[in-house]
Amino acid sequence: MTTAPIAVTMGEPAGIGGEITLKAWAQRKTQGPVFFAIDSAARLKAVGKTLNIEIPLKVISAPAEAASVFAHALPVLEIPDVANVPFFLGLPEPGSAKAVIAAIGKAVTLALAKEISGIVTNPIQKAVLQSAGFAFPGHTEYLGHLAGGVVPVMMLAVERPTPPLRVVPVTIHTSIANVPKLLTTAGILHCARVTAAALQRDFGIAAPRLAVTGLNPHAGEDGKMGDEEARIIAPAVAELRAQGLNVIGPAPADTFFHAEARAAYDAVLCMYHDQALIPLKTLDFAGGVNITLGLPFIRTSPDHGTATDIAPKGIADATSFIAALDAAHNFAKRRP
């Protein structure tokens, strides 16, 4: 069992990342996994003072120091590009992009060096980063790049409902118009194989059961509402079954997420973003966790955005962030 701490990245400084990091430490300092923030101690102190959630902070020089500090103060690892980030809740500034990217990069460096057991990333403001030259659609793709060019898979999970729901969107951050063009048999195969391996290694499910949705209403209605099911999705399902995986589908998405349906699978591959996220967020809006599969390290994240509109109000809910910490910790316990 690993005892290395979890690294928490700063995320968008104008958002709720600092607030939920502080709240998570206050709620879990005696019973949760040890974590530290890659952030500016001065910024976190200002966030706490502004929102009336002041907690003790302790600057550390290495992850190994976090364990001895954690019960008494939130450990903060400062790096040059992050230490002087300006404090401005609710007002994203392109000038913060360098610090946000540097925090992610430092976390990955520590993960690859085995100095931490996992990474929990606070939400980023993608438009702000991209306006500063960031060339990736989001965290998932950037982490894959930093990990050596792997093609990671996004899973979102809520464990509180019975049965739980774990969804994997095959296409992610793209328009609905682009989905049919981007959907391929090879892409479905990749997502399914990576998901099955992660269910075994990180969730402890010896024989994973996968489900696959259709793209069109009624899964195409035998071709009357589209041919993607017969032309792209069904061949992937057949190949996965031939390889020995337990896979069902393609099935109509509108009947695939109620409790009885969820009992038939451990994870479901969905064809596009909202097909996956709408049922998940309806089941448990506050408790969802974003998990990146296929990386050589553990990465989770709260399943929400930067929420800059409420950042100055001090009302952010840390439930999803805490769930992400717990998920990373549980995965790490299953890894050598």
- Domains along the chain with CATH numbers: 6-151+304-334 (3.40.718.10), 161-281 (3.40.718.10)
Contact 72, 34 (CB under 8 A): no
Q: Which of 325, 288, 323, 307 is nearest to 51 (CA)?
A: 307
2: pLDDT strictly greater than 60? no
Angle between helix 97-112 and 139-146 (nearest 10): 50
Q: Is residue 205 exposed (0-12), middle (13-18) or buried (19+ Cβ within 10 Å)?
A: middle
Closest alpha carbon to 129 in 163, 155, 157, 92: 92
pLDDT tens, residue by residue, 122-162: 999 988 898 888 888 888 899 999 999 999 999 999 988 88
Using N-to-C axis directions, what is the helix angle for 17-28 and 41-51, rounded to 10°?
80
pLDDT mean over 20-28? 96
Q: What residue type is assigned to position 126 of the chain?
A: K
Q: Indicate if the pLDDT at residue 1 is higher than 70.
A: no
Using the Cα atoms of residue 56, residue 57, residue 63 and residue 64 in order, give the sign of their dihedral: negative
Regarding pTM above 0.85, the answer is yes
Whether residue 179 has pLDDT greater than 90: yes
298, HSE (Cβ side, Cα atoms, 13 Å) = 30
Q: What is the pLDDT of residues 40-90, one digit of tens each?
A: 999 999 999 999 998 999 999 999 999 999 999 999 999 988 887 877 899
User: What residues form DSSP beta bridges with 209?
Assistant: 246
